[in-house]
Amino acid sequence: MKRRPVRYVWIPVIIALLAVPAGFLYVDWSKSGAGDGLYSRKWSPESVFAYWNPKAFYTSVETVSGVFGGPQCVNCHQAVTPGIVRDWQASRHAQPADRGPVYCSACHGNNHENLHLPTPEVCGSCHAARHAEFEDEKRFGFPSHALAMERAQDAPHFVDKPKAEVSACLQCHSVATKCDSCHTRHRFSAAEARRPEACITCHSGPPHPDDETYFASAHGRIYLAEGDSWDWSRPLVKGNYRAPTCAYCHMSGGRHQVADKSMWKFGIKQINPLTSNNAVKRKQWVVLCSDCHAADWSRDRLAELDAERKQAWEKLYAAEAVLKGLRKDGLLSPAAGERPPYPNDWLDTLWPRARIGFFEGQASAFYNVSPIERDYFEMWYFDNLGAYKGAAHGDSGAVSQGHAAMDNALKAITHQAARLRSAGEEEQGETAASAELWRSGEYTDFNREHN
């Protein structure tokens, strides 16, 4: 009798030994289609993608042929595109004293029929430490700059949504595939990348109003008033800047690793702020804030952020509970079975289920859903994340606005749920009509045909 548990132990082991390689094989097969990402057999990116994944897509201009040396590149492009030549001339790459000149050909190749755009690896061939720091972010999981492109493209909704819209997402997620997201070409200035403007091309607007919340903070206001007169050639260390910028706090000392102090995971899911892992990160924050503030004060601010997060999740879970009640009673319309399954998602086809909340995967399930589920998505993705960014960056206005918006969303969701519960016969028409729109409308047939 004692040996039976031991024998049973082999069952999951054998399943794992078969399932894990099978999973890898499946993902490998799935990514090897004509398109790109995990759904490469159903989705291919737009042509603009070439500039976001230079290695795989770039097709050279055919009007010029020949092999050219660096000075020749400069000579010709001074007439064709003088702006970028001036940028290069003003860069460290053009200074002989600074191990230069690093000519165009060093990064783009010298055969004009076979030029390429530089990937992070190309930049890393000289800037090895920075590239290693950047790659190191992958250890911390998503959200992460280094994983930004891959994880975005693997999202199921890429297949179902209009290409123009998901391309808009990829524009920023291309931070993973090229260095000129932060260091604008062809000056590639460190001084420039130390300023908030380097970050806010992407870090602005819902769902991540980093721009707005930083500029509305006391830090940001000082930067706005005086930043133009600061000496941006100085490193990002204690005493060099009157107020911190994005990079000062998130890349202190210029380290190209943004994720190592990250505790709250962008506000997208509830985290336990008191794990030993987070205790270490918390200490790192207190050390950083102590460049200017008292340590106790800094600890208090972090605790306040924890409190804000807790309150946000109370609101979000209250809304989730309302939705789960509706799901249980079959009141979501269109119900999971009435809308198209996710591509390649066998489980969703066999057992359609409404995903409610982040852990069930609602992050990817915000189209083809019932109106009330969409309302929750907005509450979670826009109102909640806006409040988080406000709390993290010291913009009390954004905290108030985000929480007021969550309160209103909770009010609307509760209101709407009560109406769905009390709806009599005459609402069935609405249900049917509304289901029809989402079942076969733009967001499924059309997009799948054109993706």
Which parts of 206-265 interact with a second copy (CB under 8 A)? Answer: 206, 216-218, 221-222, 224-226, 228-229, 238-239, 241-242
CA 27 to chain centre: 22
Burial 363-387 (b: 16+ CB within 10 A, else e): bebbbbbbebbebbbbbbbbbbbbb
Closest CA to 90 of 2, 185, 17: 185
Work out the angle between the directed axes of helices 385-393 and 396-422 (0-180°, nearest 10): 160
Cβ closest to a second copy, residue 139 vs residue 415: 415
For 402, the token pair is 């985000």
Cβ closest to a second copy, residue 192 vs residue 260: 192
**Interaction of residue 201 with a second copy, rule CB under 8 A:** yes
Find the part of the chain contacting a second copy (CB under 8 A) among 14-22, 123-131, 187-195, 347-355: 187-195
Question: Where does residue 205 fall: left (phi above 0), alpha (psi -120 to 50 degrees), or beta otherwise?
Answer: left
Q: Are 395 and 219 in contact (CB under 8 A)?
A: no
Of 18, 19, 27, 48, which lies in the binding site for a second copy, with binding defined by CB under 8 A?
48
**Interaction of residue 171 with a second copy, rule CB under 8 A:** yes
Of 113, 121, 300, 329, which lies in the binding site for a second copy, with binding defined by CB under 8 A?
300
Of 81-140, which residues contact a second copy (CB under 8 A)? 81-87
Cis peptide before 143 (omega within 30 of 0): yes
Of 396-435, which residues contact a second copy (CB under 8 A)? 396-401, 403, 407-408, 410-412, 414-415, 417-419, 421-424, 426-431, 433-434
How many residues line the site for a second copy (CB under 8 A)? 103
Rounded-to-integer distance, Cα 149 and Cα 42, Å: 18
**Interaction of residue 441 with a second copy, rule CB under 8 A:** yes
Nearest approach in angstroms of CB 22 to a second copy is: 36
Q: Pattern 56-75, binding to a second copy, x per CB under 8 A?
A: ---x-x--------------
Cβ closest to a second copy, residue 349 vs residue 428: 428
SS3 percent helix, strand, coil of the chain, rounded to 5, is 65, 0, 35
Cβ closest to a second copy, residue 216 vs residue 258: 216
Nearest approach in angstroms of CB 130 to a second copy is: 20
**Interaction of residue 378 with a second copy, rule CB under 8 A:** yes
Of 259-298, which residues contact a second copy (CB under 8 A)? 290-292, 294-297
Q: Say if residue 430 is exposed, middle or buried (CB neighbours under 10 Å; 0-12, 13-18, 19+).
A: exposed
